[in-house]
Structure 1
Amino acid sequence: MAAPLATLATLGVVGLGVAGADLPVATPAADLSGATYTPTGQSADLSDRTPLLSRSAKRHKVTQDVEESNELIAAAADEAETARVVRQAKKKRVKLWTTAPLNVWTSAAKGAKQVGEFEEGKQILVTGRRDNGRVEVVVKGEPRWVTAGYLSSDKPVGPAAGLSMAPCPDSSVENGLTTNAIRVYRSVCHAFPQITRYGGWDAHGEHSSGRALDIMTSDVALGTAIADYLRAHAAELHLYDVIWRQHIWTPVRSGEGWRPMSNRGSATANHYDHVHVSTY
């Protein structure tokens, strides 16, 4: 009986030794549910690991990358086409006249930025492209856009015509006039071709100095348009005064507008049949 008892004692000791030993922790198998595999002796710190993308997320990212690439390609193609159109416009030099003040925009889009303004009577280079109610023009070599419907191939007459020093059909009107008065004559001549009679130098009043000009018309609307045209360009034309229908306007008192004049006794003396203008 001693031997079996010894054997049992030995097995008990061995069993206790095994139970008390520091055995390595078994490594968990890969979790098919998506848990990250952690090698033996390492902590499962997921903050340093790149998250795995699902197949749908990968497909979305690929689609997004393709769309962005297509947008870049389209933008580059549009930029190249715009540059080509601008070069053609410069070569052909097709110009139109503005018939009203026009805002200048960076593009034809509704959210475009305003970067300037054209005055009436300005000749500008156009490319021929239209979009969203606007016309493309060229300003200092750059493509810009203005509202359609306010450009004309014909040079405007009237207040929108601007100033001119081109010779007029009747050069005799310029005899005895100063340079400033000649510029007034030529500008009015081209802006209002319907006027055929002028009074230039003579021996009375301001006319004797060569600084004055009479623009002959009894048409109230036409005479008023001429007077307004002269007032709008007073600084450029170096005007001293404008007289029309018994009223006088001077740049130095422009804030007072038209000032009434006393009756001088006749339609001509009261300037009902002509616009009188004098220069410095």
Structure 2
Amino acid sequence: MANSSHKRDTNARPTPFLSRRNAIKIAAPIAAFATVAAVSVGVATSSPELKDVVANDQSFTASIDHGIPETTPQRKKPVSRSSSRRPKVEVKLDGATYAARAEAAQTRKAVAGADDKQWALEDLNLWDGPTEKAKNVGLLKKGKAVVATGRERNGRAEIVVEDESRWVTAEFLADKKPVAKKKTATDDAEAASGTGGSCTNGSSVPSGVAPGVVKVHQAVCARFPEISTYGTFRGDGEHSEGRAVDIMISGDAGWQVAEYVRANASALGVEYAIYSQKIWSVDRGGEGWRSMEDRGSATANHFDHVHVTVY
């Protein structure tokens, strides 16, 4: 009897487990696929800006394809080409600067709109401004036509000379061209006589006065013998120095004396003369007779005498 033996069935060999290295090789593509899918879904639902970042950033895509995590690079904020790149500078003007610019603007406007034709009645000094601190920048000849702006300040009128603002004594501008006066025989005789002549009315000036005072007395006395009173030494100003004389005369006759002194100032050594609240001086001779402030009385304002100061 054959031995009945049970053939032992060989158990099936179990499938070996995957090695760690093989597992990583399989898992990496799966993770990458899952990541791409997740990113795609996020991009699809995100803003257009994010879509552009992902689409254009190759390093980000490469990191996904190779399963190597990388930090998404930050894109710089775009700079608008229309905006100015220069820093804003705030300029603050002080009161004096602002006033100067405003005055300059008014002057340009006045010069541009000047249309009032005027004529100079005398040789007039040209000033670069209407104040006492203005500079003398030239001379306007008598009879010269100019265009005035219509602005007046401190007794001066603004005119336009070679497209520039200039100021002259206002009272010596006229709307009509002055008519030249013809010389007469009398005028020639007076001009020829100059400052010579003798004083015959018995008046005199004291010794010790300046030589110019002596000349003024002699010349005026020779031509205006009706004047017999002359004031010299006094306790104030040039009178105390013997450099001044008061010729006691008034009215139109006073103007004749004052104009004679002015016309012969150089020969007589005159520095300045005052009459009827007006002054004429050598250093500002081109301005003619200038108005003075009110001093309160006829004598103080020189209505009853011609004051002459010599060098």
TM-score range, shorter chain: 0.3 to 0.5
Between Structure 1 and Structure 2, whose CA radius of gyration is higher?
Answer: 2
With normalisation by structure 2, the TM-score equals 0.38
Provide TM-score, normalisation by structure 1. 0.42
